[in-house]
Structure 1
């Protein structure tokens, strides 16, 4: 999935679609925030944030005032149309990294083979590790063959209850040395499926 096209010529972009999505996600809480703080939260420099905000303003996704930046209804609608949601999932030490972040990708389970593609996409984006979870034949699985319902039934129950995962969905949990590293990793892995 591509949110923002990168031009063939001109200055090099120092951000990914994960940073763009996360900037909108940070704004989705409805609070105003300054550009510098938003750049820090999204894991990009201020110059990159200016470029992202220029596009957001062009698309009518944000309002920028002296009191800060806020998301518009159009920005919220766009964010809601992307079949990806950040979630909190604790895999109880099963993911490498000091910080972890989960994401649920709706309707993408048929694209999962063994979870290696998602792990590789996450590591390429800076993760220390990524774990993929799907439902196969009614069982919560870490592909290709780790049956969470049998091996860790309490954790499997908690994941089902907390996330609402269905047989069509995928959960990816990434770990990194920082919160933004984990976020970028899972979002980049998720966007490979969308």
Structure 2
């Protein structure tokens, strides 16, 4: 699921994507990429020409809706709330309701190889842990600035930060956690 999401992101932002680009960016073999493209074609989400694979109008509408809920993500440096070698933050719009402690989001991230995950909520101009009111980044201006600049959080947004020993694993595990959070919690 997170690999398909990343593939759809690639297609959304590029007019055409080659199989080789998918293989490189998704860390997937040629056969797995061909199968993924066939599934996307079968669902009417993508099509291919000699120039590469592209999103159909149905695929574009689907991605616009998905990106309305997951509009931004970024890498962040090791800090007080994310201590991994590589850390990836992903924002879920208005999903603060979907966590009690962040354990569920951590478990979804670990499924894809993360060494850990931290869930924070943006409320009243502060980053807080679920069920807390203290600003968990009060003394970490650099991380706060990075999250604000790249994610542009608003009140009641959830941010999942996953940690891993490889940058791709941090990214794909964050995507997995975000997608599963959306799938298991409806607004």
Q: Does 1:191 align with 2:175?
A: no
Find 1:121's aligned residue among 86, 99, 108: 108
Contact 1:89 1:102 in 2 (8 A): yes
Q: Does 1:134 align with 2:121?
A: yes
Deviations 1:25-77 (A, max 9, x none): 11222242221320331232322222211121123322311222222332221
Partner of 1:104: 91
Partner of 2:185: none
Find 1:33's aligned residue among 17, 31, 42: 17
Question: Following the alignment from structure 2 to structure 1, what is the Cα–Cα distance between the partners of residues 165 and 28?
Answer: 16
Q: Does 1:177 align with 2:168?
A: no
Q: For residue 193 of structure 1, report the CA deviation from its aligned partner.
A: 1.6
Deviations 1:137-171 (A, max 9, x none): 65311345462353334543552343221222111
Contact 2:76 2:146 in 1 (8 A): no
Q: What SS does the corresponding residue of 2:53 show, helix, strand or coil?
A: strand
Q: Does 1:90 align with 2:76?
A: yes
Instruction: Evaluate the alpha carbon distance shift between residue 141 and residue 33 of structure 1 in structure 2; reply closer, same or farther with a 3 A threshold.
Output: same
Q: Return the TM-score normalized by structure 1.
A: 0.78
Question: Following the alignment from structure 1 to structure 2, what is the Cα–Cα distance between the partners of residues 184 and 73?
Answer: 25
Deviations 1:82-140 (A, max 9, x none): 22234115254342433332211112111111112211211121012212120246531
Q: Return the TM-score normalized by structure 2.
A: 0.81
Q: How many pairs align?
A: 178
Question: Following the alignment from structure 1 to structure 2, what is the Cα–Cα distance between the partners of residues 108 and 171?
Answer: 9
Q: Pairwise CA RMSD of aligned residues?
A: 2.3
Question: Following the alignment from structure 1 to structure 2, what is the Cα–Cα distance between the partners of residues 154 and 36?
Answer: 36
Question: Following the alignment from structure 1 to structure 2, what is the Cα–Cα distance between the partners of residues 155 and 178?
Answer: 20
Q: What SS does the corresponding residue of 2:159 show, helix, strand or coil?
A: strand
